[in-house]
Structure 1
Amino acid sequence: MNYTEIQLTISPDFTDILMAELANLGFESFVETDEGLNAYILEPDFDEAAIQSIVDKYAGQTAIAYQINSLEKKNWNEEWERNYQPIEVQGRIRVRASFHEPDAGFQYDIVINPKMSFGTGHHETTAMMLEHQLSVDAAGKTVLDVGSGTGILAVLAALQGAERVVAFDIEEWAVENARENAELNGCSPIEVFQGTIHDVNPDERFDIVLANINRNVLLADIPVYVRLIKPGGTLLVSGFYEQDAPDIEEKGRAEGLTKTGQLSQNRWVSLRFDQYTDGPSGTTV
């Protein structure tokens, strides 16, 4: 399945606004360019009429134009190989491709060859999820990576000493990519399958759930995540903007979670929730 790429020519003052609008339409990834913004969505989910409505909405405020491209898997690979540079998180994590030299100065030197999947650490949401993971003790724990993409979050959890890591994505090539990246990092025991949250065994329970998706999916699925979290467990989420954080926080609170951390980068947000217990009985509060 291909992705559709929208190349928007817009003023820098409207980049964040357009990102928010497109994210609400289901666009999964964004790259800021000298001309404006490139946005990516699965081809079957693309609705040109919805794009035109957004363009019409802002046409009176700024010059705006767009071009539509079909982005094939092989072209995406070539683009990443041309532009992929290592990134660092908190001086402890380095994310690089296999064609970069390793650096022993980092606690976690993660190799990610992205292919068609998104999630290399370059986007703010992924970087914030990685940063949040540094504050969570995953050693000996069970971890679920929701919508795993490249598998980068699952890989970090495994490198942190997680006892069991399960990851899934709806796209076949993302599943293949996550498995390849797990092997590159010596984390082959990571279990990766193709499916949705509803394909996870409802009798399973996890200490940590990671979900870097988007606002609408999070609001719909946080109740499911909570049912899969062990008492006292942790939920890390990202993929939404600052203006959406109160809705995500409220949904978590309604499901018995307590917000214990928040990170923000360029108007993107990542939240940490914990499920506290009131004593030996394990009753959640």
Structure 2
Amino acid sequence: MASNYLEFQFKIHPPVPASEILIAELGSLGFESFVENEDGVTAYILKEEFNENMLTEVRILDSDEFKISYSSSEIQQVNWNEEWEKNFQPIVVDDICSVRAPFHPKPETEFDIVIEPKMSFGTGHHATTHMMIQFILKNEWKGKSVLDMGCGTGVLAILSSQKGANPVEAIDIDNWCYLNSLENIERNNVPEISVKEGGAELLGEKKYDVIIANINRNILLNDMQKYVSVLQPDGDLYLSGFYKEDIPIIQEACEKLGLKFQENLEKDKWVAVKFSL
């Protein structure tokens, strides 16, 4: 029997990193599902689980850095399978890699990733994830050790493993992302991927051939030195989660640490950049 839910439509400007922060805060309060869109985030919570004071605990709503407005309505008898089918369409990247939900039919692509995003970021629909998938597809991954920082759904770690990377590690500071990555790794039959919950503080002496970090500009700048400290000589660092105009500040920080700019991709004003040590 489906339940009655409240639907909150949040309009957010600028969307990064506000959308991810908002989702994390709402998730900790009991919101069950999220759909990211161009304008912001749509969030759902059981009607009986919501109280009027709940949103006063969401600190980002009072932030001066972002402009966030919202409206709410009651949704009768939500069938979540129907909601996902309506809001989560399969994508194909460069005719090589598909990213789809479990209820979508299997396409004829070389790489097929089945993702049930739940509260996690990273379905391939967002420009940053899409470009990181493109980078993985166009570069040699076989036999390389890969670290996926801010793994979200685990989609980039899963594709890395499918392309022959080994070992592959995935890290995310958000508990929902950690749990969702574990589920998606099992769903895609790539159990060799290890997942950890936390941030850059988890990085120790182990070195990686490739580091993927699709997070946001401020976290990237803050953690860049740690990333470089665990990158193998001649290793590659792939970064995304920021706009084209942010490239100079990212590039300056990377070059100070000995990294060399290789190339960047651009989609919908977002960029992904490859650096090498």
The offset of 1:212, in angstroms, is: 0.3
Structure 1 position 47 matched with structure 2 position 53: no
Distance in 2 (CA, whole Å) between partners of 1:27 and 1:251 is 27
| Residues 68 and 216 (structure 1), Cα distance of their counterparts in 2 relative to 1, 3 Å cut | farther
Equivalent position amino acid for 2:121 in 1: F
| Residues 25 and 207 (structure 1), Cα distance of their counterparts in 2 relative to 1, 3 Å cut | closer
**Contact 2:16 / 2:216 at 8 angstroms: preserved in 1?**
no
Count matched residues.
242
Corresponding residue of 2:143: 140
Corresponding residue of 2:99: 95
CA distances 1:153-212 after superposition (whole Å, capped 9, x unpaired): 000000001120000111222111111111111101100011111112x21000000000
**Contact 2:99 / 2:115 at 8 angstroms: preserved in 1?**
yes
Distance in 2 (CA, whole Å) between partners of 1:109 and 1:122 is 15
- Deviating beyond 6 angstroms after TM superposition, the runs of 4 or more aligned structure 1 residues are none
Distance in 2 (CA, whole Å) between partners of 1:127 and 1:45 is 29
Corresponding residue of 1:209: 211
Distance in 2 (CA, whole Å) between partners of 1:68 and 1:47 is 16
| Residues 54 and 125 (structure 1), Cα distance of their counterparts in 2 relative to 1, 3 Å cut | closer
Equivalent positions of 1:38-77 (< 5 A) are: 38=41, 46-51=59-64, 54-55=66-67, 66-67=69-70
Distance in 2 (CA, whole Å) between partners of 1:23 and 1:243 is 18
**Contact 2:259 / 2:276 at 8 angstroms: preserved in 1?**
yes
Corresponding residue of 2:37: 31
The offset of 1:227, in angstroms, is: 0.6
Equivalent position amino acid for 2:111 in 1: Y
The offset of 1:54, in angstroms, is: 5.0
Judge which range, 157-166 or 176-185, deviates more.
Answer: 176-185
Distance in 1 (CA, whole Å) between partners of 2:16 and 2:200 is 25
| Residues 163 and 250 (structure 1), Cα distance of their counterparts in 2 relative to 1, 3 Å cut | same
**Contact 2:153 / 2:184 at 8 angstroms: preserved in 1?**
yes
Equivalent position amino acid for 1:267 in 2: K
CA distances 1:24-83 after superposition (whole Å, capped 9, x unpaired): 995679512xxx44388xx877333325x755xxxxxxxxx82167xxxxx9x7654531
User: What's the RMSD between the two structures over aligned residues?
Assistant: 2.8
The offset of 1:22, in angstroms, is: 5.9
Corresponding residue of 2:242: 240
| Residues 45 and 256 (structure 1), Cα distance of their counterparts in 2 relative to 1, 3 Å cut | farther
Equivalent position amino acid for 2:265 in 1: L
CA distances 1:126-148 after superposition (whole Å, capped 9, x unpaired): 00000011122110110000011
Equivalent positions of 1:124-273 (< 5 A) are: 124-200=127-203, 202-273=204-275
Equivalent positions of 1:94-113 (< 5 A) are: 94-104=98-108, 106-113=109-116
| Residues 158 and 123 (structure 1), Cα distance of their counterparts in 2 relative to 1, 3 Å cut | same
| Residues 68 and 191 (structure 1), Cα distance of their counterparts in 2 relative to 1, 3 Å cut | farther
Equivalent position amino acid for 1:173 in 2: W
The offset of 1:226, in angstroms, is: 0.5
Segments of 5+ residues of structure 2 without an aligned counterpart are 1-7, 24-34, 44-54, 73-77
The offset of 1:92, in angstroms, is: 0.8
The offset of 1:19, in angstroms, is: 2.1
**Contact 2:22 / 2:60 at 8 angstroms: preserved in 1?**
no
**Contact 1:20 / 1:241 at 8 angstroms: preserved in 2?**
no
Corresponding residue of 1:279: none
